[in-house]
Structure 1
């Protein structure tokens, strides 16, 4: 299965403009259809749901890259970024796979990286049906990006963020991605 973009077939899934504001959490929430999934256009690798209440499921991949972008940032403010995930009971390949998150403001911005150790440290618990959890969790600390007050509104101020494991080359499966979120701190 391929996703069409500009008439060209792709094996990657390109996000629809699909984010919603959660007033209680003071966050913008990106359901799976609002995120980009490398290899997400091919159902052998990912199952991307049409319903917002259903998570995207990683069937198998050696290259994990789930990204999104948020264009409502303001100079001088700090934003917290996270993902809500869980694992299927048969998830494999995650024990030694270093999972990272990254973010940057604008295409030319400096990329900030954070290792998400809670995924590796809690894989058995996460596979045990505890339900979805937010990452990074309290053991990882928050993942926040400060937008310089010197950034002009007419500059490229889109916040680009992602979840990655692209270094080991090992096959992974069983990750469930429910949402990503960006909230003003």
Structure 2
């Protein structure tokens, strides 16, 4: 039997609730990184609040999952990212986010145009940003006996170009403003 180490990084899945931001926060170690098990491609820290660093990949796939969903609620999803000054391969790269509810749910996709606007700055920014609009997915109100696990991801798998210099600080999931307003109206 082989004890070969995987070339992919599998998450510890220990998200934390940030009550100030009203969001569940996923540190880099709480996310899955394709090629993240190989330090030639990614450096995924075990320490909290240290970003994961993309060394070099042509297939960018970072995913996570969230099991705290409730039927009838909508959730916003995002990532906090930045770029190293020498980042390459991002010009015109179609960075995309996806999400679905349950294993058999319909996948929702959103192209993140703001990534190229933010490439020059080293300060972390949230994507999608205001220019992209929010990325939101809803759980069916009749989902009581269904799989309601939210699965989400960040991808660039289409160009085949090598990309470097991306820093992933965190991912986050929050109850959308529309869900919060509906709850307040019902109360």
Higher normalized strand content (fraction of residues): 1
In the alignment, structure 1 residue 82 sits paired with structure 2 residue 73: no
Partners of 1:59 and 1:155 in 2: CA distance: 39
Task: Give the root-mean-square deviation of aligned CA atoms.
Answer: 1.3
Q: Which residue of 1 aligns with 2:93?
A: 97
The structure with the largest alpha-carbon Rg is 2
For residue 145 of structure 1, the aligned residue among 130, 137, 151 is 137
What is the TM-score of this pair, normalised by structure 1? 0.92
Mapped contact 1:98–1:120 kept (Cα < 8 A)? no
Mapped contact 1:98–1:115 kept (Cα < 8 A)? yes
After TM superposition, where is structure 1 displaced by more than 3 Å over at least 4 residues in a row? none
In the alignment, structure 1 residue 162 sits paired with structure 2 residue 153: yes
Q: Which residue of 2 aligns with 1:135?
A: 127
Secondary structure of the residue aligned to 1:9 is coil
Secondary structure of the residue aligned to 2:114 is helix
Mapped contact 2:81–2:168 kept (Cα < 8 A)? yes
What displacement does 1:151 show? 1.2
CA distances 1:96-153 after superposition (whole Å, capped 9, x unpaired): 11000000000100000000000023322x3xx3x1000000000000001110212x
What displacement does 1:9 show? 2.8
Name stretches of at least 5 consecutive residues in structure 2 with no aligned partner: 177-187
Name stretches of at least 5 consecutive residues in structure 1 with no aligned partner: 1-6
Mapped contact 2:118–2:125 kept (Cα < 8 A)? no
Mapped contact 1:100–1:164 kept (Cα < 8 A)? yes
Partners of 2:21 and 2:170 in 1: CA distance: 14
Partners of 2:27 and 2:13 in 1: CA distance: 10
